[in-house]
């Protein structure tokens, strides 16, 4: 029979890097935690942790078991919190993950307001461009910005915004080269490409219909949005970015939209949530906050310069 207490002691020992530090954190004797983990290994019939007087490390089996054990504890905790705090004020930790551009351009401005609105919440944001497994790694919410529909999964999907990817260039660049009036004109213009291997750009007419592929002159390439934004503002050439990334610089006249009747696709922002975590009051208020604030970007997109 599985004993959740032993699972708990095993996970905490791994998280704290040994029996002694886990014991200090839990205010328990080191021997208690060591014995419970040994009992767990006996029941499983395998060694989970290699320990000597100088080292403490997971075996391959132990590493796999730890990921599942931690996820099981998170779900057990979620079940208890959902019952105890169903009607209470939102509080506790909410762990979020997003890509770096999403964190920089969508979340950085909004999250402080969330913290002020709910002072009992502790919001933790992990920004990473790797594909995070939110269930196995214990996250409550993933904020994903994507060009294609997300695959089906056991996660709840909450779409919050869709916006165009526009073409922008610095006024100083356009004063030197002239304003392009058709997609074909871009073949004579310097481009700041969003992929180090890209040489062409696919454009769609606003409202649907025509699609064209253009081959500008690659002048600079980067796969990081802030770098693209600053390179365009410096006058290196034109680039393509989601409207909410660059509308501030357009408003300040550091950038100018070119070919407003065309865009380079659309980007959608979606919230992903493990089903059980989505019922927690703390997670629900964060989700509704993000839906309201990020959804407002649809209204921002409507403020594109007149076509």
- Options 2.60.40.10, 3.30.2130.10, 1.10.10.10, 1.10.15.40; CATH of 4-84: 1.10.10.10
Q: What whole-number distance in Å separates Cα of residue 212 and Cα of residue 66? A: 51
Q: What whole-number distance in Å separates Cα of residue 131 and Cα of residue 133? A: 7
- pLDDT tens digits for range 64-108: 888 888 888 877 777 666 665 555 567 788 999 999 988 988 898
Strands (E), 183-292: 190-193, 201-205, 211-214, 217-221, 239-242, 256-258, 262-263, 266-273
In the DSSP assignment, the letter for residue 239 is: E
pLDDT at 306: 46
Q: Which run of H or of E encompasses 92? A: strand 92-98
Note whether 92-160+267-301 and 163-266 share their fold: yes
Whole-prediction pTM value? Answer: 0.64
Whether 69 and 9 have beta carbons less than 8 Å apart is answered as no
pLDDT at 82: 61
Strands (E), 25-84: 49-51, 56-58
Q: What whole-number distance in Å separates Cα of residue 194 and Cα of residue 183? A: 18
Q: In the chain, which residues have pLDDT < 50?
A: 306-307
Q: What is 163-266's CATH topology?
A: D-Maltodextrin-Binding Protein; domain 2 (3.40.190)
pLDDT at 1: 58
pLDDT at 233: 95
Domain boundaries, the chain: 4-84, 92-160+267-301, 163-266
pLDDT at 307: 43
Helix (H, G, I), strand (E, B) or coil at 199: coil
> What does the mean pLDDT of the chain come to?
86
- Could you confirm whether domain 92-160+267-301 is CATH 3.40.190.10? yes
- pLDDT tens digits for range 198-243: 889 999 998 777 889 999 999 999 988 899 999 999 999 999 999 9
């Amino acid at each position: 029979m599985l004993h959740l207490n032993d699972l708990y002691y095993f996970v905490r020992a791994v998280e704290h890097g040994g029996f002694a530090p886990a014991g200090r954190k839990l205010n328990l004797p080191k021997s208690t935690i060591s014995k419970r983990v040994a009992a767990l290994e006996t029941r499983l019939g395998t060694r989970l942790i290699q320990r000597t007087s100088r080292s403490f490390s997971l075996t391959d089996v132990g590493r796999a078991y730890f990921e599942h054990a931690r996820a099981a504890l998170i779900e057990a905790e979620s079940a208890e919190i959902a019952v105890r705090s169903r009607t209470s004020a939102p509080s506790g930790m909410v762990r979020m993950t997003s890509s770096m551009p999403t964190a920089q351009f969508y979340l950085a401005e909004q999250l402080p307001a969330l913290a002020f609105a709910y002072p009992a919440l502790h919001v933790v944001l992990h920004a990473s461009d790797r594909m995070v497994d939110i269930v196995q790694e214990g996250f409550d919410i993933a904020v994903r910005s994507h060009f294609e529909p997300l695959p089906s999964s056991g996660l709840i999907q909450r779409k919050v915004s869709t916006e165009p990817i526009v073409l922008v260039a610095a006024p100083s660049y356009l004063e030197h080269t002239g304003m392009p009036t058709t997609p074909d004109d871009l073949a004579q213009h310097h481009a700041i490409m969003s992929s180090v291997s890209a040489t062409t750009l696919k454009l769609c007419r606003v409202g649907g219909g025509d699609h064209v592929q253009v081959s500008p002159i690659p002048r600079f390439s980067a796969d990081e949005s802030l770098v693209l934004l600053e390179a365009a503002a410096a006058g290196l050439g034109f680039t393509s970015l989601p409207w909410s990334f660059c509308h501030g610089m357009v408003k300040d006249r550091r950038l100018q939209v070119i070919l407003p009747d065309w865009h380079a696709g659309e980007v959608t922002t979606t919230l992903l949530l493990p089903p059980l975590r989505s019922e927690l009051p703390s997670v629900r208020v964060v989700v509704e906050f993000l839906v309201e604030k990020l959804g407002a970007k649809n209204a921002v997109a409507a403020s594109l310069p007149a076509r």
